[in-house]
Structure formats: structure tokens, C-alpha cells
Amino acid sequence: MSARATTAEPVCTAAEPLLPVLGREVTVPLVTGGEVTYAALDYAASAPALQRVWDDVAAYAPYYGSVHRGAGYLSQLSTDLFENARRTVAGFLGCREGDQVVFTRSTTDSLNLLAAALPAGCQVFVFETEHHASLLPWRDARVTYLDAPRTPAEAVDTLERALADRDPYGPALVCVTGASNVTGELWPVRELAAAAHAHGARIVLDAAQLAPHHPVDVADLDVDWIAFSGHKLYAPFGSGVLAGRADWLRTAEPYLAGGGASRKVSRRADGGVEVEWHQDAARHEAGSPNVIGAYAIASACTALTEAGFDRLVAREQELIDRVRAGLAEVPQVRVLSLFGDDAPRVGVLSFVVDGWNSSHFAAALSAEYGIGVRDGLFCAHPLVRTLLGTDPQDPGECGAPEAAPGERSLNAVRVSFGAGTPDEHVDRFVRAVRELVVEGARWSYRTEDGRCVPDRTAPTGS
């Protein structure tokens, strides 16, 4: 479908979000005719940019210059902005004295960087419930994959037993999410960190889904590192963060070798080169950095802090309650949960609908109601398959449907929202789910390139 921007007022008339986002006035065509303001309910994949972030980046763009290397005014200004962004992020995360903030491309990049910095013989412990960004980077380490727990207490007990029984009893790292990208459920991070440290292990927190919704404090949670992505924190400009203890990062080989990471390079008598690498964050930031991406993250951190997480969390809980209550009225809908219906969560919910392939359902939400959600396995295949009760060995690709409309679905639908979501978007979503289940789709759909799409040549009908 095509989309176009319009200067008309958005259609929502109920409560407005606390933080305006870019694209809130975009309209999209409906396959059944007419247009509607787009309801972006796929925040867990990529949240829209905050209007403030966009404005800050636009204001800086004319002054953009190379950092750390230029003597000119714009280079000096950009260097100050880049390093101030680092300090802003450190403050947002509650980093300890001596912690490093490394700018990366994403959460995935951050965790791969940390994987490359593991000391020799380090064992990694990770639950099967993790996003692939946390599940897969540890290719050169001995990895223990822990079964999905069904309560937070079981998660802590499972980790404690695994750490206590490790052999040899050497360096270890635990990788855990703060909030599930599938169910939205909050994990007992503080308790897991205490368990890790009690058994001589360190812990890295994947906060990609937590940081946009709840305050995250490295020192308070007592985690050793934290990783997150700008594009989920309302700053989609290709940047991420790894923040935390400096020792492993300082002793590891640079993540990328090149300018910026090197402090001094000289020729040796044998004709080779001798390199002295930086000891600070620059060690792992070789090449020209993504200044705009770093500045965008810092802008988003400032905006969220100034808005107040107490207000943001309360507002989001209203939306969560609204969606859950609406879905509960449709008996054909099953919301996926690991810890139970009463578990605290962020604005991320996944569900399946009896009689519907999830790709078909998501396509109908988009084509007939202008609602953007996500269907698939959400780059968390083991977790989704556990929740759906399917064979963990079944094949599948990230986000790709595995059955045609009308066939048994091996994936789910995910709705996610946040600081930029108005009431009207979630109300439209709940109404659309109810109408699709009760009345069926108003259009015919077909599979094209692995996706379920409206059949433009077929007559209307379900």
C-alpha cells in the first residue's frame, strides 16, 4: 500500500499521547475504499521517531561535521555534541563511575561486540525465551540454553542451578531480556543479577523492549552491561548502545580495526606495524561514527526523562488494560503469556485467533482498517513455538508466515504501542479484531512472495 502525508488534523478525538511522534498525521488507503489515519501499532519492531527527536536532528543537520579529527568549528561542535550525547545516555541509564558507553548500530551489534570481548573460557547462559539478538551472538563461547520458565521465581531458580553446576567453575556471562519482545512481560532482572553475582558470573541486560517503556538504572539493577537500540527508543537513525563495565571491553581486541580505535600506529623494524589501541569507548568505535544516530538517542533519552516515566508508565498501562479488556471479550482470541495473565508487562502483546492464519489476520488489519501490526515468530522462534505448543524443530524464518490463509498458523500476531499512541489507535484495533472474528474479512487475500496480501484481481469477500 502507498502512504501519503497530509496536513489534515489526525482523526483521533480521545486522549492524545504524552509525546507526539513523527507521522501521526499520515493517511493510508483502505482496500475497501477511502483513507484513514495510519495506526502504527508495531512499536516493538521500530517505534516512530519522537517529533522532538526529529526537530533536534533537523536543527543540528546544517552544523554536521566530522568528529575527533577536525580543527574547524563544525567539527569541534559535532565532537562536543557526540561526546555530550554519550554523557546524556550514561545519565539516562544510571551508569556507574568508570562505566563505558559505546555507540553501536543496534542491540544486535552491541551484544555481538560483547560476545567478541568475552575472556577466554567464558561460559554463557541464556534462556531460550530470548530474542535472537541475545540468543545467537555467542558463537565462540560455550553456551548453556535454559528452558523457558513459567514464573519469575522459576527463572531465578533455573539460573542459580545452572550457574552452580557449571564445570569448570570459571568466568560466566548471563544474558537476559528486561521485557519480552513477544509477550511484553517483565523479567526479574534485579533478582537474576543477584543470582549471577552470587555465583561469580556477570550479566548483560537486553533492554531493547524495556528502556522505551520503563526507567532503567544500571546501578540499581546491578547489571554489568546494558544493550539497547535507538530505533525502539523513538530515535530510528541507525544507532545503538552498549554500556557498562570497562574491563572486558578494555582488554578485548577492537571490535573493528581502523581509524578512531587506534591511538598510535608506527612501523616496526621488521616492516610491520605496531598499534596502540585506545582504552576508552573509542576502542570499539572505529571509523566515522554515526553522530546523528548518537545525538538522536540522547535527544530521546532527554525527552523521555523530561516527560517523566511515572506518567509514561501510567499512560501505557491504561492502553494495556484497554487492549487486554477488548481482546478478552473475543473468545476466539488467545493472548500468549509465559508468566500468566497477571504478570506486569510493557505495551507488547501477541495473540492467535482460532480459525485464522496470523499473516491473513495481520494483512486484513492493515488493508481494511489501516492498522500496522506484526505477524510471525518475531525473531524469537524457540519462545513463540513454546507458547504455541509447536515442534521446536519446525522450520521458519523471522517474521515469515508458514501457512497460507485458511491453513493452520504456526505464527502469531503482535500488537505494540508506547508513548506516541493515542486512544483511537487501540480502540480501532480492538474493534477491528472483533469485527474480523465475527464478520470475517471483507476482501480476498492471496500469498505473494511469502506474504499474505489483498488480491487486487478478485472480487470482495472473505
DSSP 425-444: HHHHHHHHHHHHHHH--SS-
Torsion angle of C-alpha atoms 60, 65, 70, 72, degrees rounded to 10: -60
Cβ proximity of 355 and 332 under 8 Å: yes
Degrees, nearest 5: CA angle 330-47-65: 175
Q: Distance between CA atoms of 343 and 347, rounded to whole angstroms?
A: 12
* 363-401 per-residue burial string, b: 16 or more CB within 10 A, e: under 16: bbbbbbbbbbbbbbbbbbbbbbbbbbebeeeeebeebeb
DSSP assigned state of 227: E
CB-CB contact of 23 with 40 (8 Å): yes
Residue 23: what are its φ and ψ, rounded to 5°?
85, 5
Say which residue the cell 621488521 belongs to: 270
424 burial (CB, 10 Å; 0-12 / 13-18 / 19+) is middle
Hey, what's the cell of 449?
Answer: 512472495
Residue 379 catalytic?
yes
> What are the residues facing 273 on neighbouring strands?
267
d(CA 445, CA 215): 42
CA-nearest of 258, 257, 275 to 266 is 275
Q: Which of 12, 175, 301, 379 is the catalytic position?
A: 379
Give me the active site residues, please: 379
